[in-house]
Amino acid sequence: MARPPLLLRTYGRLANLAAPLLFRRIRDRLIAHGTAPARTRERLGHATAQRPAGPLIWFHGASVGESLSALPVIEGLRAQASTPTILVTSGTATSAQILAQRLPAGCIHQFAPLDSTVALRRFNAHWQPDLLVLMESEIWPQMIATAPCPVVLLNARLSPRALARWQKLGASAGWLLGQLTLIVTQTATTATGLRSLGVTPNRIRTGGNLKAAATPPTADPTELAALKIVLGTRPCWLAASTHAGEEALLLEVHKTLLATAPDLCLILAPRHPDRAGRVARMIADAGLALTRRSKGEAPSAQVYLADTLGEMGLWYRTAPLTFVGGSLTPNGGHNPWEAAPLGTALLTGPYLQNCADDWQMLADARGAYTRLRPDQLTDALQGMLNDPQIGRDMADNAAACAAEQGDDLARIVTELIALLPPKDTA
């Protein structure tokens, strides 16, 4: 491997010097969020699990979103006749908790080593990965430079602002991206941007959005049928994953809609159910009748507070119209793909820093209304209530768009398997 440019060598020295201080801060944060103290040393490359024999693929994603986007690929790899061991690393306590529930049996999770040579060499000496797969924008210079195996970047995305930052790196960007064996991007725009940085054309191609290929959340068929019986012919809409500051705005939207649709039901599902008590008081203060899922009540009032965990698949399948929160206030929005296949029309607000490309893809496919302020949301919902076919067409378009994104999955699995070392036939 050619020597890295001076800028990358300088970064490496600074990252190595900062690692002890950075680890202490990260350790304290992980413990504060419920991580066992012994596991925090994984950030220094100390393994807390044994490496199984045979080929091992290391997937790395920073947090929940990036890690979950790897799941469809992991499931495809696990379905192969000769199954490699899958090791997944991430950086946050929340991602570790969710991956513990979502990873297929036999997969291993560790916290990611810091981007320091000592931590990475310790990590690689233990795990001896045969392939490193980075997700989305997880391009860590020393993780790439010290990898003892081919490195792949999947589901790559690059905003115009990020591209401008990369272009300022000059030769360092070209050198670092040149270490990647394969890059599969979410969009043709990202592929074009990466080529402009010097990526060899035969090492990069456009695929689909892997978040859309993930298995959508499930729903108990009996519970779903019961909800639809209670609602009957009542129109309803869902406000999903709402945050503080949004519920008051959405309740005002609902009150306006009730003026012309007095039997309309709002299913309100806060992002964090531990806020349910405050949200319930807010609903009562707004003069709206309320029933609560956590109390075993049915959606028989003006607002149904969906204050339980693990039932988003049920709400998406119940409501023909869904507003996805985290977007009326500066939270950055939420991933639309878990709802897109489930037969609901999608709407969201203007604050979409975390997932703008995802929503734009659906909007371009006429499967979503995006960047709606509260007054615009009211008008959009009113139009869809007056003409339900608008929502049905949007839901169909969203589902079709999600299905298209998963078409590339089999090819990705084949490409990754081909990069593993040949089997020992001796």
Going by C-alpha positions, the residue among 213, 214, 210, 155 that lies closest to residue 182 is 155
Enumerate the H helices of 292-373 as residue ranges: 312-318, 356-364
Residues 6+ positions from 405 with CB-CB distance below 8 Å: 208, 209, 210, 211, 212, 213, 337, 361
Distance between CA 68 and CA 48 in Å, rounded? 22
Distance between CA 207 and CA 201 in Å, rounded? 14
**Catalytic annotation on 246?**
no
Q: Which amino acid is at 156?
A: A
Specify whether the CB–CB gap between 411 and 183 falls below 8 A. no
Please tell me which residue in 42, 66, 138, 338 is annotated as part of the active site: 66
Distance between CA 267 and CA 319 in Å, rounded? 8
Distance between CA 299 and CA 296 in Å, rounded? 10
Question: By three-state DSSP, how is residue 9 classified?
Answer: helix
Strand partners, 184: 205
Distance between CA 123 and CA 186 in Å, rounded? 29
Residue positions annotated with a catalytic role: 66
